[in-house]
Amino acid sequence: MLIHHLEEMIERSPKKRISYQDYMAAVLYAPQIGYYMRQKKKIGSRGDFYTSGNVGDAFGRSLARWFVHLIKVCGVSPHIVEMGAGDGKLAYDILVYIKETEPLIWDSLTYVLVETSPFHRRAQQDRIGMFKQASLAVEAEEWANMNGIVFSNEFFDALPVHVIEKDGGSLAEVFVTMEGGRLLEVKEPLDNPDILTYLAERSVTLQDKQRYEIPLQMVQEYEKIASSIRSGVLLTIDYGYTQKEWQESAHHQGSLRGYYRHEMITDALMHPGDMDMTTHIHFDTLMDIGKKKGAAVSGLYQQHEFLLKTGILQELKGHQETNPFSETARRNRAIRGLIIGGYSDHFRVLLQTKNLAEAARIFPD
Ligand SMILES: C[S@@+](CC[C@H](N)C(=O)[O-])C[C@H]1O[C@@H](n2cnc3c(N)ncnc32)[C@H](O)[C@@H]1O
């Protein structure tokens, strides 16, 4: 049971408390018992949350159409890596689009799905195992030194973070401890050198009572990703803020939260191991790391803006049906949901390019 695992971790630690990063790593990724490691459906109506790729195939097809543009017009190599590829649904939609429309690219295509969760790797194998173009990897290192496209959808928001807070004028780190079998938070003066360096390098200052997540694992992952690609495009789709936006008072509570059976849970210590945990990501950090590794920022877009630029409207189908639940009506509704308001409004798309000759033609005319 996960709660016993947490109890042991806390008991073993010298100060009887663990960082939020260790807490999240345990509840999400402890072998066999962490949320993502268990045999339990996570994405879709019978899971805890939806992702854009899981509401129909238009999202995947739009990405695929744009990948084809990058390969044909911008000279990007036909090699795609998807980080945190989940249940493989998005990969499947992308692969099917390219197979059906671009036989020449299809012949030389490689598509690597990088995924930690054994449950999701099995789902990927079931979905895309028949395509020789696709392969599965557990770690980013397995595809080092590539030319092509590295992308992710809602990957960085699933990585563990430290949590800090400004309290009475000084910075504290928020830890997790246990009392009488109950999980609770405890604050201590901030002395973690990695967190202090992260804040100093970015000149981050907090208001009193402001909470802030420190994404040290995202930094590690992105340094690996941005170094691994020699030439091509880095595409990150996720919810998050720029440093300027983090300073707005609406975001002073931080963004750590859970999703449990499609309900948003603000108490991060609830349902350990049964609930997804997530944070909004720090786009400036990804941009800075990219720059250090030679990847230029091509743009930070709202997801709907990016999807319109990459031609999602071509996915709409004309029809005369009156039945609002017909397949075409539902499909068109899903597309409208991706481009107008609601759920889709929270997502952004960060585009970075490295050693790309035709970077100016990155979007179709
Ligand atoms: C929120 S889910 C998103 C899944 C998928 N991209 C989608 O859009 O449906 C995050 C995924 O990232 C995976 N993940 C987390 N840390 C990872 C890591 N270090 N390397 C690869 N995959 C990881 C999780 O197991 C999970 O499948």
Please tell me the distance from the alpha carbon of residue 104 to that of residue 164, in angstroms, as a whole number.
51
Whether the CB-CB separation of 164 and 96 falls below 8 Å is answered with no
A 10 A CB-CB count for 341 gives: 9
Please provide the DSSP assignment of 160-229 as one string: --EEEEEETTEEEEEEEEEETTEEEEEEEE---HHHHHHHHHTT----TT-EEEE-HHHHHHHHHHHHHE
Ligand 1 center to residue 294 CA distance, Å?
25
Whether 232 is in the pocket of ligand 1, judged by its Cβ within 6 Å, is no
Please tell me the distance from the alpha carbon of residue 219 to that of residue 179, in angstroms, as a whole number.
33
Q: Are strands 182-189 and 170-179 parallel, antiparallel or unpaired?
A: antiparallel
Whether 85 is in the pocket of ligand 1, judged by its Cβ within 6 Å, is yes
| DSSP percent split of the chain into helix, strand, coil, nearest 5 | 40, 25, 35
User: Any residues with CB less than 8 A from the CB of 61 and at least 6 apart, and which?
Assistant: 93, 94, 97, 315
pLDDT band at 226 (very low <50, low <70, confident <90, very high): very high
Whether 331 is in the pocket of ligand 1, judged by its Cβ within 6 Å, is no
Ligand 1 center to residue 228 CA distance, Å?
19
Whether the CB-CB separation of 282 and 246 falls below 8 Å is answered with yes
pLDDT band at 327 (very low <50, low <70, confident <90, very high): confident
Whether 217 is in the pocket of ligand 1, judged by its Cβ within 6 Å, is no
Whether the CB-CB separation of 296 and 232 falls below 8 Å is answered with no
Which of 161-175, 224-238, 312-326 comes out lowest in average pLDDT? Answer: 312-326
- The closest-lying atom of ligand 1 relative to the alpha carbon of residue 152 is 6
Whether 155 is in the pocket of ligand 1, judged by its Cβ within 6 Å, is yes
Q: What is the pLDDT of residues 242-299, one digit of tens each?
A: 999 999 999 999 999 999 999 999 999 999 999 999 999 999 999 999 999 999 999 9
Ligand 1 center to residue 349 CA distance, Å?
17
Whether 279 is in the pocket of ligand 1, judged by its Cβ within 6 Å, is no
Ligand 1 center to residue 221 CA distance, Å?
12
pLDDT band at 337 (very low <50, low <70, confident <90, very high): confident
The confidence score (pLDDT) of residue 49 equals: 86
More confident residue, 313 or 61: 61
Ligand 1 center to residue 197 CA distance, Å?
27
Ligand 1 center to residue 187 CA distance, Å?
29
Whether 116 is in the pocket of ligand 1, judged by its Cβ within 6 Å, is yes
The confidence score (pLDDT) of residue 342 equals: 67
Which of 56-65, 134-143, 206-215 comes out lowest in average pLDDT? Answer: 134-143
Please tell me the distance from the alpha carbon of residue 215 to that of residue 228, in angstroms, as a whole number.
20
Whether 238 is in the pocket of ligand 1, judged by its Cβ within 6 Å, is no
pLDDT band at 332 (very low <50, low <70, confident <90, very high): confident
Q: Give nearest CA residue, ligand 1 atom 18.
A: 116
Q: Give nearest CA residue, ligand 1 atom 12.
A: 84
The confidence score (pLDDT) of residue 360 equals: 84
Residue % of the chain over a pLDDT of 70: 98
Which of 1-10, 139-148, 152-161 comes out lowest in average pLDDT? Answer: 139-148
* Phi, psi at 15, each rounded to 5°: -105, 15
Please tell me the distance from the alpha carbon of residue 139 to that of residue 218, in angstroms, as a whole number.
14
Q: Are strands 170-179 and 211-214 parallel, antiparallel or unpaired?
A: unpaired
Ligand 1 center to residue 116 CA distance, Å?
7
Domain annotation for the chain: domains and CATH numbers: 2-360 (3.40.50.12710)
Q: What is the pLDDT of residues 193-211, one digit of tens each?
A: 999 999 999 999 999 999 9
- The tokens 């997804």 sit on which residue? 276
pLDDT band at 319 (very low <50, low <70, confident <90, very high): low
pLDDT band at 46 (very low <50, low <70, confident <90, very high): confident
Helices (H) and strands (E) in the chain, counts: 12, 16
Which of 22-26, 185-189, 290-294, 339-343 comes out lowest in average pLDDT? Answer: 339-343
pLDDT band at 84 (very low <50, low <70, confident <90, very high): very high
Q: Give nearest CA residue, ligand 1 atom 25.
A: 117
pLDDT band at 241 (very low <50, low <70, confident <90, very high): very high
Whether the CB-CB separation of 259 and 218 falls below 8 Å is answered with no
Coil, helix or strand for 6? helix
Please tell me the distance from the alpha carbon of residue 68 to that of residue 104, in angstroms, as a whole number.
11
Whether the CB-CB separation of 98 and 134 falls below 8 Å is answered with no
Ligand 1 center to residue 157 CA distance, Å?
9
Coil, helix or strand for 116? coil
Pocket test for ligand 1, best of 114, 153, 155 (most atoms within 8 A of CB): 155
The confidence score (pLDDT) of residue 363 equals: 93
The confidence score (pLDDT) of residue 40 equals: 86
Q: What is the pLDDT of residues 339-348, one digit of tens each?
A: 886 667 789 9
Ligand 1 center to residue 155 CA distance, Å?
5
The confidence score (pLDDT) of residue 322 equals: 73
Whether the CB-CB separation of 356 and 74 falls below 8 Å is answered with yes
Residue 114 has pLDDT above 90, yes or no: yes
A 10 A CB-CB count for 127 gives: 18
DSSP assignment letter at 319 = -
**Average of per-residue pLDDT across 321-341:** 78
Pocket test for ligand 1, best of 59, 116, 143 (most atoms within 8 A of CB): 116
pTM attached to this predicted model = 0.95
Burial of 104 per CB tally in 10 Å (0-12, 13-18, 19+): exposed
Please tell me the distance from the alpha carbon of residue 290 to that of residue 223, in angstroms, as a whole number.
8
More confident residue, 335 or 7: 7
Element (H, E) at 73: helix 58-73
